[in-house]
Structure 1
Amino acid sequence: MLQVQHLTVNYRRLQALDDIGFRLPSGSLVGLIGPNGAGKSTLIKALLGLIPTQAGQVLYRNKPLKQQLRRVAYVPQRSQIDWDYPITVWNVVMMARTPHTGWFRSPSRQSRDIVRDSLQRVEMLDLRDRPIGSLSGGQQQRVFLARAIAQQADLLLLDEPLAAVDKKTEALIFQIYDELKAQGKTLLVSCHEWGGILNHYDQLLLLNQRLIAHGSPTEVMTQKNIQVAYGIPPALPHFHDSLESNFFC
């Protein structure tokens, strides 16, 4: 179980996150939603220890998460990746095996098999020799998901992994999420869009500097919670009608 307790982050003298607390059970798919500037990426980075926190702690299986980072796979936002870096699809995914093989050792046969299987699962094995920068946005997202799979982590933190993907890739990604859940892994996914797609998630975290709601999609996506999070009452149909909307978070 991932436990976040009283997490507070200040950024350039402004409070980015205020007293955040929640628990995520193993084998769950959790969506992280909220308006632009709500602190979604900040929260993911704070969980990983990539930015300093002013208060709080992050525990995984009752131990500090920062002491167990080998058990965590992180997929950052597309804007944080240098797509011009000269590296092939195969080598991007093989980087996930570095903690297992070391920096100056050749990958083992087991690692090569894991990378091959990971690329096969996201239907990118045929493009393994392509430069990562030559791929479409959806293909690039698949490659980074393959890297997360190859890491064989127990906890996956993904920051807007559905950005720039087509419907086929979206369906494939959610299929893989379900497979990872069935293996007992925990996935926290920052969402770029929302609507009926939120029904895929077991739980949602609705964030805007503070945690506004945490629960099932139907519990979280109420008119009241949305109004608090976004500051205005958006004209949305009822969630049970799939909340098909053009709002972004």
Structure 2
Amino acid sequence: MRVAPLVAQGLSVAYGDRVVVDDVSLTLEAGTLTALVGANGAGKSTLLHLLQGRLTPSAGNVACDGMPIQSCRDRVVLMPQRGRIDWSFPISVREFVALGEIGHRSFGCCDREAALQRVGLESLATRRLDALSGGQQQRALLARTLVQPSRVLLLDEPCAAIDPPSREQLLALMRQLADSGHTLLVSNHDWGASLDLFDRVLVLDVSVVADGRPDEVRRKLSSQPEHREYRHE
């Protein structure tokens, strides 16, 4: 029997009386690109941290390749939001990417040089982090993610606050990664027409509002006025 790379069942978490994620279940199949859509405060980042095992749910569980996530966290890598990184740290792009190799006995889909080439930063490898543009910073983060030995990638707002060309480059690279066998769950508050590049869309508002192919999700949300901000018609 084939085992899906990542399965979550009934995930819930609350801080005091505030429920942040409520009864979320999902299955991510190998070689798929899934969009995680939701407004700020919808629980997207919290869900990604639950899926990677960084947070312990109040209820529910996560399994990777049929094993509890806490016993195989190295199989799932979480790329944080760009705003959580200190880009003034005095190291080069190559040194930053190499940080992803620390603590691992093997590379991910590529070593640091191949990762830099894959994201189009090989010519900037010796440049300091603080000299990068927003789009270049996002690509550096992705390169650091790719050197980690995991086929499941959770990307938190990778296209936030970057210019359209950089956004298109990142989306194309994510599509290539999925087509090569990686499993990607990528969050953003608004993908617009870019949703059509994804195999699946999951709309989150504390709980799952809609889940399916982009056209299916659009049809479902079009009948729910309270969620019209995600319709992109």
The amino acid that maps onto 1:171 is E
Q: Aligned-pair distance for 1:168?
A: 2.3
Match of residue 158 from structure 2: 161
- Match 2:78 to one of 52, 74, 77: 74
Residue by residue over 1:139-158, the C-alpha shift from the partner in whole angstroms, topping out at 9 and shown as x without a partner, is 00000111111224110000
Match of residue 124 from structure 1: 121
Match of residue 56 from structure 2: 52
Do the aligned partners of residues 170 and 51 (structure 1) sit closer, same or farther apart at CA in structure 2, a change above 3 Å counting? same
Task: For 1:136 and 1:12, locate their aligned partners in 2 and report how far apart those are by CA, in whole Å.
Answer: 39
Match of residue 247 from structure 1: none
Task: For 2:71 and 2:82, locate their aligned partners in 1 and report how far apart those are by CA, in whole Å.
Answer: 26
- Match 1:26 to one of 30, 35, 58: 30
- Match 1:216 to one of 201, 213, 216: 213
Q: Aligned-pair distance for 1:50?
A: 2.0
- Match 2:225 to one of 222, 227, 242: 227
The amino acid that maps onto 2:175 is D
Do the aligned partners of residues 81 and 91 (structure 1) sit closer, same or farther apart at CA in structure 2, a change above 3 Å counting? same
TM-score by length of 2: 0.89
Q: Aligned-pair distance for 1:163?
A: 1.2
- Match 2:47 to one of 43, 49, 58: 43
Task: For 2:22 and 2:118, locate their aligned partners in 1 and report how far apart those are by CA, in whole Å.
Answer: 39
Q: Secondary structure at the match of 1:99?
A: coil
Q: Does structure 2 conserve the Cα–Cα contact (< 8 Å) formed by 1:8 and 1:19?
A: yes
Task: For 1:132 and 1:101, locate their aligned partners in 2 and report how far apart those are by CA, in whole Å.
Answer: 26
Match of residue 131 from structure 2: 134
The amino acid that maps onto 2:218 is M
- Between 1:35-44 and 1:176-185, the stretch displaced more is 176-185
Q: Aligned-pair distance for 1:213?
A: 1.2
Match of residue 15 from structure 2: 11
Match of residue 195 from structure 1: 192
Do the aligned partners of residues 225 and 37 (structure 1) sit closer, same or farther apart at CA in structure 2, a change above 3 Å counting? farther
Task: For 2:9 and 2:33, locate their aligned partners in 1 and report how far apart those are by CA, in whole Å.
Answer: 20
1:87 aligns with 2:84: no
Residue by residue over 1:118-142, the C-alpha shift from the partner in whole angstroms, topping out at 9 and shown as x without a partner, is 1011111111112212211110000
Q: Secondary structure at the match of 1:180?
A: helix
Q: Aligned-pair distance for 1:61?
A: 1.3
Alignment length, in residue pairs? 227
- Match 1:147 to one of 144, 147, 154: 144
Residue by residue over 1:159-198, the C-alpha shift from the partner in whole angstroms, topping out at 9 and shown as x without a partner, is 0001122222222222221221122110000013221111
Do the aligned partners of residues 51 and 79 (structure 1) sit closer, same or farther apart at CA in structure 2, a change above 3 Å counting? same
CA radius of gyration, larger in: 1
Q: Does structure 2 conserve the Cα–Cα contact (< 8 Å) formed by 1:29 and 1:177?
A: yes
Q: Which runs of 5+ in 1 are unaligned?
A: 103-109, 245-249
Task: For 1:13 and 1:49, locate their aligned partners in 2 and report how far apart those are by CA, in whole Å.
Answer: 22
Q: Aligned-pair distance for 1:41?
A: 0.6
- Match 1:206 to one of 203, 208, 212: 203
Do the aligned partners of residues 226 and 195 (structure 1) sit closer, same or farther apart at CA in structure 2, a change above 3 Å counting? farther
Do the aligned partners of residues 121 and 198 (structure 1) sit closer, same or farther apart at CA in structure 2, a change above 3 Å counting? same
Q: Does structure 2 conserve the Cα–Cα contact (< 8 Å) formed by 1:58 and 1:65?
A: yes
Q: Does structure 1 conserve the Cα–Cα contact (< 8 Å) formed by 2:10 and 2:25?
A: yes
Q: Aligned-pair distance for 1:31?
A: 0.3
RMSD of Structure 2 on Structure 1 (CA): 2.1
